[in-house]
Amino acid sequence: MTRSSLVRWIAGGSALAALLAVVAVHVWPASEADKARDDGEKVGEAVTQLYEAASSADVDAALSELDAAVADTRAHATGEVALDDLYYQADDFRGQGPEVHQAFWQGVDDGLSVS
């Protein structure tokens, strides 16, 4: 094997590894904590929008955004606490719960931009 073919082989392998890493990041499902943080951020942004509303139309739009954010939060929370699996996954929920709750409130803090 010549030096140039070895370099091409290494470069090709590195490019393939980088491509696989990019695909894995985009395809990998979000964790419950990530979902909770995103939900919290949406709630915080909606509260900020409501706080800064200058007209009744702005208030209506902000309330609509807040309703949608709360509905998304409920949908994700329902999925997290599946009653059928609760008995078998009690340890997982005890360990995961505080992290998910903390992520939600961190998202709310990040979403609030009231000056």
Contact 65, 46 (CB under 8 A): yes
Q: Give the per-residue pLDDT at 61.
A: 92
Q: Give the per-residue pLDDT at 99.
A: 75
Q: Give the per-residue pLDDT at 80.
A: 52
pLDDT digits (tens, 9 = 90+) for 87-107: 554 455 455 567 777 787 788
Q: Give the per-residue pLDDT at 64.
A: 92
82 pLDDT above the threshold of 50 = no
pLDDT digits (tens, 9 = 90+) for 3-13: 777 778 887 77
Q: Round to whole Å and give the CA distance between 51 and 55.
A: 11
Q: CA dist 107 to 8, 23, 33, Å?
A: 45, 26, 10
Contact 103, 43 (CB under 8 A): no
Dig out the tokens for 17 from the structure: 């590894």
Contact 63, 49 (CB under 8 A): no
Contact 42, 23 (CB under 8 A): no
pLDDT digits (tens, 9 = 90+) for 24-81: 666 666 677 788 888 888 988 998 998 898 999 998 998 899 889 888 888 877 655 4
